[in-house]
Structure 1
């Protein structure tokens, strides 16, 4: 006896073998033809054909019915190696800053920060998207996005979103202090519907400790986690719910980065404090100046110092980048940022906090100009 799944095939094979000795059109053996009247030839009933399996396309998995597993942003085996966060400024530097607050220059600093706060708190009619990118990875792109998100969360009273659009295992969730990630941008692109309310959307986002929300690009796995159609769907839909969205893009010339740079309201380009980094960023600015729409007028450059021993002259680098007509914000070396891990606003150096607030004000000012 054959296996249960092949019993029909074996039965059909036996029926075919039983009829193989009969010639076509003959109903009896040759010896019986003379003894019996010729009878009308009968033909055995054709054997039914074997059933053809029907291949139906697999139904798409409903990610809402089968939610993905929550994955830690840092492997627990490595998280124990993180030391206590250190302050961005040394003790001597903090003491000097305290003395400067007692002088007349303190009033000027307060006036500047008040002006930046006024810029950050200006109302927006529709959600503004600010894209952050760079010419290569490892220059502080995710760090700048996190600083932007925290500045907007601190000064604004409407919902703020930080969105990761980097397929190369970006670090934005870690920098924003998220302990785990469950839903990705690609997941949300299949879930969003026009009838959803803000409370429905935030169920799929990660709440940030200092306020606001985070949407990771993936769950700690390498590969293309957010493609161009998914990015377009997510950013277009989420603009209805969030006043400001800071996007951590992949590096130029990635497809998502080009799309983000073209469709955002303002763009931030992070340049490393090196000669080749400044030169490459200047080439990007020259490319933006040739686009049909005025891209340079909504662009801000961040000149990031990743080492306390940088030898490049900051004034010369700033002048080279500012020449096309874009503002340049200098992000100084900060021990807390260089340490890695979650960013604690209170542990940032004074100059870093000022640079972050100024950058956010420059970006939102340009984003609001776009209609």
Structure 2
């Protein structure tokens, strides 16, 4: 550059740590041409009426950031015809991510946002058969397969719950056994003896399966259970029964950070979900309702005469968000759930649900000096 007057002249407009005083034009030259006993090159001298250069405000870190120094290669495509071209060309033709790929990556980033402490999610529905237990298992599996922390789903159904049937059974222990032995539990491996874990790393704490056991799962039982689990898990999902009046429900609602209200795409399912919100509003849980998420479950491509857009608008006026989960043949089987066997639209719907729930995680408090 002909405007440069020395082999090591630095642009005076730069604010990095090696900024040169514009008045200096040589390695040891000063304003009055002197050299001996003068400050090193690039340092201003207060004796000559000049102010010391202001310290850089992180400029050197920005200049050496990886995003500035490394050439940014296209991310390889993860799906569709772009991925087929990438593989068939021996990874030499990279057309980059599709819109769907970028959308998935953004959702996964939201799901993986930091979480301090334990976040408790209650899964509710007044109507049976709408897929509440299945939604609990798939949402929990989505979290546990993507996040590095521990996720557990608790079956708080006062009747014979089916949550434990959604993953391979590793133990016959139930929440009753956990409470019985609570005083002896000191570390995570102690709790692990009472749970079953699926391929996604989701753990399930089963409810009592013996119909001869008449002892109800009470509010105190639930509170003791959660007090213990939150010492070892970061996300706790509770699969509640259909009755809002049973004893454990007050404990569930009092400790919940968020609600997921599950509805079918039918009129009676939507009315039951809306009635759930009405009951919560009338019993002092209005703030919890405002943080809730409505899920319209098992939405088929042809939904018949029900206008799902209007149904969505109804719940959007009452809840924080509304998510739709498409119908999926694997989930309809009612057997153990494997995320890899779900259709792509169902997987995307679950990612959107998990990301929406994660948006409600409490923000980490920044530390100030």
Q: Per the shorter chain, which TM-score range?
A: 0.5 to 0.7
Which residue matches 1:158?
A: 149
Inter-partner Cα distance in structure 1 for 2:307 and 2:322: 14
Q: Which one of the candidate residues 98, 105, 120 is aligned to 1:114?
A: 105
Which residue matches 2:179?
A: 189
> Can you list the C-alpha shifts for 1:308-358, whole angstroms capped at 9, x where unaligned?
664212111111111124311111111111111011111101111111111
User: Post-superposition shift, 1:369?
Assistant: 5.9
Which residue matches 1:207?
A: 197
Residues 124/193 of structure 1: CA separation in 2 closer, same or farther (3 Å cut): farther
Say if 2:136 is the partner of 1:142.
no
Count of matched residue pairs: 274
Which residue matches 2:72?
A: none
Q: Which one of the candidate residues 332, 336, 357 is aligned to 2:330?
A: 336
Which residue matches 1:313?
A: 307
Inter-partner Cα distance in structure 2 for 1:180 and 1:220: 17
Which residue matches 2:294?
A: 301
**Worse-superposed segment, 185-194 or 125-134:** 185-194
Say if 2:240 is the partner of 1:246.
no
TM-score by length of 2: 0.67
Which residue matches 1:36?
A: none
SS of match in other structure, 2:133: helix
Say if 2:219 is the partner of 1:228.
yes
Tell me, yes or no, if the aligned pair for 2:185 and 2:191 is still in contact at 8 Å.
no
Residues 287/369 of structure 1: CA separation in 2 closer, same or farther (3 Å cut): farther
Q: Which one of the candidate residues 271, 275, 280 is aligned to 2:263?
A: 271
Tell me, yes or no, if the aligned pair for 1:163 and 1:214 is still in contact at 8 Å.
yes
Inter-partner Cα distance in structure 2 for 1:321 and 1:303: 10
User: Post-superposition shift, 1:212?
Assistant: 3.4
User: Post-superposition shift, 1:251?
Assistant: 1.4
Gaps of 5+ in 1: 1-96
Which residue matches 1:260?
A: 252
Tell me, yes or no, if the aligned pair for 1:127 and 1:242 is still in contact at 8 Å.
yes
Residues 196/365 of structure 1: CA separation in 2 closer, same or farther (3 Å cut): same
Residues 332/240 of structure 1: CA separation in 2 closer, same or farther (3 Å cut): same
Say if 2:121 is the partner of 1:130.
yes
Query: Of the two, which has the highest radius of gyration?
Result: 1
Tell me, yes or no, if the aligned pair for 1:130 and 1:367 is still in contact at 8 Å.
no
RMSD: 2.8
Inter-partner Cα distance in structure 1 for 2:216 and 2:174: 8
Which residue matches 1:281?
A: 273
Residues 351/105 of structure 1: CA separation in 2 closer, same or farther (3 Å cut): farther
